[in-house]
Structure 1
């Protein structure tokens, strides 16, 4: 396939768990639900048994019991290094908002290649609150903390506002007095999990402003995720006013995951030139159906707006499958277009290298050789 030898840049993923897991621990990370419902009996479970088992020197379609026994025999470090190292990814962009997983340096040592940090806005705001701050000081303190973290070399910013209050963001940030009042109320309630609509709207607008100033893309989780999310509030179409307001600001907005709203996301990339799209989280979960999802995304999304990501989290199997299944899905799709005369081979090579690495490298300022 045309994608076989490509070295990928993973626009968005997380670290891996740094311990051996029992069956419950493994299966909990193999589902977006909080209670595993036999996740091996799913498209993702089939993909683990089909594609990850041979990487652990097991036959394709080894049983779940065989797979977990081999995982226990090898240990988490050897499994992680092998699955990550064989994914064909040269550069990884890690959301570091969940501190119990490997940080970029440790991840790069396991995976090979390079790893860079994407800074989660909500985590920084919650850290500022935990350190002790008044309502009057809150906005300035958060902006200063973000600038300090940006100065350490992060390559992007990220918000999970979709999980907290949804994606229907206002076109303009809340006024200063609204932010102060909302901060006072939130801090009085303990200032732990940031769930104030006013503060989150202000924070995302702040992220867009700082992103434009520093040349850092702002990633937004959209589409499906774990049960903490309300799916109807995670439709990227709800971002239309925010995207219209930021289109000339200089910031790039990366819409992550998007499924089942990937066609809506493709439309947004079509009409807003500062929008990137991927279907990261969906790829390993839909397994061999990912080619259908990718084809639907490409119906309308401009080719230079589309990026690869795995959203691998916790289990290196998810990083590995994100890359392998994406490679298969895109490869079969583009090969069919060439065979049917839809595009030339030269067009196909240009488009596929764009998806794999060029688009994300250009926008994130990465020095990547494809």
Structure 2
């Protein structure tokens, strides 16, 4: 059944962010085997740190091990992701934290851990900023969750324009800033993608929750952002049905929008086909070097 559902999507490559794993879910190699679709990975920054903090002996030890783990993730995967929007907000300080600030925060965290008071969840904004800047240094695409999420977010702090100064400072870094999902800030994300050359967006997660109303969501993302800066994303999680349903919703919306433009004579058929191919997979292949 899994194989049949994946085959129906038409997807020819999967980019899997591994931070949302669960014991009941397939591993990436298992998903690749079941779906018969090549899989690449994106590493979640907070998960990298959370896997190392329990056994860290000191701040220098953790810093050294984080650097090695991120080097490995950059070598094996296609990029990084931060969920600072969940843990803090996108209105984080855009300044790179100093080594003294980072060491002091790690020392405090290790004291908390040794006292049995750490819950295993990285939520310190200084350390999350440190991880973000370390990812930027590795010049890989860096994803940010934006907008709609679970009940532990403050939605107004997930507006991507709140991280504008950080985006300005990373313009020539060699890292692409990927704004994921974006609802209800798809227009704000489109603005950032329009004015900053290294910013891209998708509307993946919101499609599953807006259903047949997702046409307007996708249309709004196309208003201002260049077609070369928008990526398709299913944001599917756990169930192959989600991949198929989200692909169907996106195809339905993008087909209606471009058919309307062609029928009204504002876009030629060949140009429409070229743009749809870019949105569906071409842009992702280029940005993630697939």
Shorter-normalised TM range: over 0.9
CA separation in 1, counterparts of 2:184 and 2:102?
33
Q: Please, which of 238, 244, 250 is the counterpart of residue 168 of structure 2?
A: 244
CA separation in 1, counterparts of 2:193 and 2:86?
22
Q: Please, which of 82, 90, 93 is the counterpart of residue 167 of structure 1?
A: 90
Q: How many residues align?
A: 283
Aligned partners of 2:56 and 2:62 also within 8 Å: no
Deviation of 1:314 after TM superposition, in Å, equals 1.8
Deviation of 1:137 after TM superposition, in Å, equals 2.6
* TM-score in terms of structure 2 length: 0.94
Q: How does 1:57-72 map to 2 (within 5 A)?
A: none
Give the structure 2 partner of residue 202 of structure 1: 130
Aligned partners of 2:160 and 2:188 also within 8 Å: yes
Deviation of 1:238 after TM superposition, in Å, equals 1.0
Deviation of 1:97 after TM superposition, in Å, equals 1.2
5+ unaligned residues in a row in structure 1: which ranges?
Answer: 1-77
Deviation of 1:254 after TM superposition, in Å, equals 0.6
Give the structure 2 partner of residue 83 of structure 1: 5
Give the structure 1 partner of residue 65 of structure 2: 141
Deviation of 1:144 after TM superposition, in Å, equals 1.3
Structure 1 position 314 matched with structure 2 position 238: yes
CA separation in 2, counterparts of 1:108 and 1:327?
23
CA separation in 2, counterparts of 1:162 and 1:84?
31
Q: Please, which of 162, 170, 189 is the counterpart of residue 112 of structure 2?
A: 189
Q: How does 1:16-55 map to 2 (within 5 A)?
A: none
Q: How does 1:226-241 map to 2 (within 5 A)?
A: 226-241=150-165
SS of 2:61's equivalent in the other structure is: helix
Give the structure 1 partner of residue 282 of structure 2: 358
Deviations 1:265-294 (CA, angstroms, capped at 9, x unpaired): 000001111011000001121111111101
Give the structure 2 partner of residue 94 of structure 1: 16
CA separation in 2, counterparts of 1:279 and 1:353?
17
Give the structure 2 partner of residue 52 of structure 1: none
5+ unaligned residues in a row in structure 2: which ranges?
Answer: none
Query: Structure with the greater relative contact order (CA < 8 A, sep ≥ 6): 1 or 2?
Result: 1
CA separation in 2, counterparts of 1:263 and 1:199?
30
Deviations 1:55-111 (CA, angstroms, capped at 9, x unpaired): xxxxxxxxxxxxxxxxxxxxxxx3x33322211111110011133222221112222
Deviation of 1:140 after TM superposition, in Å, equals 2.4
CA separation in 2, counterparts of 1:99 and 1:291?
30
* TM-score in terms of structure 1 length: 0.74
Aligned partners of 1:257 and 1:281 also within 8 Å: yes
Aligned partners of 1:138 and 1:180 also within 8 Å: no
Aligned partners of 1:220 and 1:254 also within 8 Å: yes
CA separation in 2, counterparts of 1:365 and 1:128?
28
CA separation in 1, counterparts of 2:92 and 2:19?
21
Aligned partners of 1:182 and 1:198 also within 8 Å: yes
Give the structure 2 partner of residue 43 of structure 1: none
| Structure with more of its chain in helix, by fraction | 2
SS of 2:15's equivalent in the other structure is: strand
Structure 1 range deviating more: 269-278 or 316-325: 316-325
